[in-house]
Amino acid sequence: MTKEIMLYDTTLRDGTQGEQVNLSAEDKLRIAKRLDKFGIHYIEGGWPGSNPKDVRFFKMTQKSGFANTRMTAFGSTRHAQKTPENDPNIKALLKAGTQTVTIFGKSWDLHATEILSVSNDENLAMIEETLRYLKTQNKEVIYDAEHFFDGYKNNAKYALRTVKAAINGGADVIVLCDTNGGTLPHEIQAIMTDVMPHIPLPVGIHTHNDCGLALANSLMAVQCGALMVQGTINGYGERCGNVDLIAVMGNLQLKMGYSCVREESIKHLTELSRYVSDIANVPPLNQRPFAGRSAFAHKAGVHVSAILKNPSAYEHIDPERVGNRRRVLVSDLSGKSNIEYKTKEMGIELGGNGYDSKKIVNEIKIMEDQGYQFDAAEGSLELLVRKATGQFKEPFTLESFRVIIEKDRSGPSTSQVTIKVSVGDEQEITAAEGDGPVNALDNALRKALNHFFPQIQEMKLVDFKVRVIEGTDGTAAKVRVKIESRDSQEIWTTVGVSENIIEASWQALVDSVQYKLLKDLKRGNS
């Protein structure tokens, strides 16, 4: 029988302690709903005794139904000078109205004596009395043994006494925490082998990634008998983050034979990762295992040649199992296999027009030597191949443009662009202003083409990056501009290269608009 591992998500609490991660109460509710749909067993919603936002969030959850998950409120043991029933933190936990509460207590004697300034015995009383009181309130209680592994290495006997205090208080689950993220996998194994016989309850693991070992430590803990894994989506969290539940699920369910969520949910692992990233307004990490855009990307010609014969030669799983997809990149490292794969993917036929994959590879290598980068600008790549093979005709031509930037001492600079373009036998001359020369150029180009191609109004520029390719020439150095654009159906990237940043931006802008028109043409929308 497949052993089930309980997943405990703390994205909404521990995850928000990470830099650049800020969630409103409404954001947290949207993520909670998605986690519930995915099948996560527990969702730690926040610390209701610490801030008004979490209080409001728990009020919102009381009006929302959760089908698959238990919403959990998080808090600390009672204060040293208070009883549990009179402690404001405990009162706030109960007011949150959750069926489950999670309490953290100190397992490391250093924290008891130097941080809380209480005796070791008083710390034990704080743990046991807090949990016993919460059990009288009919709560399921998860006990987080904070700093357990550091505490065990420093004073094993006392660390175990803190766990026994939680057991005596009525804990339902004991979670062993590597709070500082400094424990190594072999230490996790040795310590859990020692302590598991002393814990007659389900055991969980909570790891941080300060040594880059959060995932390895969590998987090791499961092999040692842990039945619950606490973590966050995408590994968000304080300092270097918590263990990434995306990778936890991928490894446990697809590699190690455990059951975490329904089989159909695993197919949406990539979607979940990107949904939370979008709500948190944190750019997705391309190299994220399982769910990253680069997780199944292949660039070297030898690799691509192999996966065309058998994908398992360079892929540890089928990307579709986690809702991701295989991507073949084209660059100066590419061979004919890359081009043949990409042109087939784009629906481009080679051979009958004097161009074959070898010629296109050579052209790309020459352009990348000049500073272009096509593995991250697939919009420009497709335009290049289609133009080279005569399968795309430029829908408009630049005749000229003029950029004027004016600045005086009393105010901000202003940018104005005048542009002349030809569409067939017609010419259009327009002018526009913008917040900087590139924005003005974008506005003028759209204005000039709107009469001919009204569909470009639905596309938006969402990212703009400039990189100096070789800095030894100072301000005369060549630059590479990448532009990311989107419409209602797709996101695409285009690239331009020049010693003049305006010229490089123009190249990327033109490619962006032309790729939009090409997409619509392929869909039959023009």
Does residue 323 have a pLDDT over 60? yes
Task: Please state which of the ranges 163-172, 238-247, 254-263, 432-441 shows the lowest mean pLDDT.
Answer: 432-441
Does residue 369 have a pLDDT over 90? no
Average pLDDT over residues 147-157: 97
Residue 183 falls inside a structural domain? yes
Which position has the higher pLDDT, 476 or 399? Answer: 399
pLDDT at position 473 = 62
Does residue 251 have a pLDDT over 50? yes
**What are the φ/ψ torsions at residue 257 (nearest 5 degrees)?**
85, 10
Confidence of residue 416 (pLDDT cuts 50, 70, 90): very high
> Do 455 and 381 fall within a single domain?
no
Beta strand 414-423 pairing with 397-406: antiparallel
> Do 274 and 420 fall within a single domain?
no
> Do 358 and 425 fall within a single domain?
no
Rounded-to-integer distance, Cα 223 and Cα 218, Å? 9
pTM of the model: 0.75
Residue 290 falls inside a structural domain? no
Residue 349 C-alpha from the chain's centroid: 36
Percent of the chain with pLDDT over 90: 60
The torsion angle over the Cα atoms of residues 365, 368, 369 and 371, rounded to 10 degrees, is 170
Residue 322 falls inside a structural domain? yes
> Do 380 and 407 fall within a single domain?
no
Number of domains the chain is built from: 3
Average pLDDT over residues 101-106: 97
Does residue 332 have a pLDDT over 70? no
Which position has the higher pLDDT, 359 or 321? Answer: 321
> Do 504 and 373 fall within a single domain?
no
> Do 132 and 42 fall within a single domain?
yes
Do residues 184 and 213 make contact, with C-beta atoms less than 8 angstroms apart?
yes
Rounded-to-integer distance, Cα 378 and Cα 366, Å? 17
Task: Please state which of the ranges 146-160, 165-179, 418-432 shows the lowest mean pLDDT.
Answer: 418-432
Closest C-alpha among 186, 229, 179, 188 to residue 209: 179
Average pLDDT over residues 435-453: 90
Looking at 249, 280, 311, which one is the last position of a domain? Answer: 280
> Do 121 and 255 fall within a single domain?
yes
Average pLDDT over residues 110-115: 89
Q: pLDDT tens-digit profile of 485-495?
A: 888 778 888 99
Residue 34 falls inside a structural domain? yes
Does residue 331 have a pLDDT over 70? no
**What token pair was written down for 205?**
């693991």
Any idea what the CATH number is for the domain that residue 25 is in? Answer: 3.20.20.70
Task: Report in angstroms the alpha-carbon separations of 515 from 7, 343, 450.
Answer: 43, 15, 16
pLDDT at position 526 = 44
**What token pair was written down for 371?**
């500073």
Residue 170 falls inside a structural domain? yes
> Do 211 and 330 fall within a single domain?
no
Do residues 232 and 215 make contact, with C-beta atoms less than 8 angstroms apart?
no
> Do 180 and 212 fall within a single domain?
yes
Does residue 12 have a pLDDT over 70? yes
> Do 48 and 184 fall within a single domain?
yes
Q: Which amino acid is at 309?
A: K
Average pLDDT, whole number, for the chain? 89
Domain that holds residue 456: 397-523
Task: Give the number of other CB atoms < 10 A from CB of residue 467.
Answer: 13
> Do 132 and 170 fall within a single domain?
yes
Residue 286 falls inside a structural domain? no
Looking at 227, 247, 280, which one is the last position of a domain? Answer: 280
Q: Which amino acid is at 55?
A: V
User: Where are the alpha helices (H) located in 106-229, listed in sequence order?
Assistant: 109-110, 120-136, 148-154, 156-169, 185-195, 214-223
Task: Report in angstroms the alpha-carbon separations of 166 from 41, 129, 253.
Answer: 22, 9, 31
Q: Which amino acid is at 412?
A: P
Residue 287 falls inside a structural domain? no
Does residue 446 have a pLDDT over 80? yes
pLDDT at position 451 = 86
> Do 405 and 432 fall within a single domain?
yes
pLDDT at position 355 = 60
Any idea what the CATH number is for the domain that residue 507 is in? Answer: 3.30.160.270
Which position has the higher pLDDT, 27 or 385? Answer: 27
Looking at 387, 412, 439, which one is the last position of a domain? Answer: 387
Rounded-to-integer distance, Cα 383 and Cα 392, Å? 7
Confidence of residue 1 (pLDDT cuts 50, 70, 90): low
pLDDT at position 255 = 96
Rounded-to-integer distance, Cα 444 and Cα 452, Å? 14
Does residue 87 have a pLDDT over 90? yes
Handedness of CA 70, 239, 467, 503 (dihedral sign): positive
Q: What's the CA angle centered on 237, arms 232 and 238, to 5 degrees? A: 155
Residue 87 falls inside a structural domain? yes
pLDDT at position 390 = 79
Do residues 498 and 504 make contact, with C-beta atoms less than 8 angstroms apart?
yes
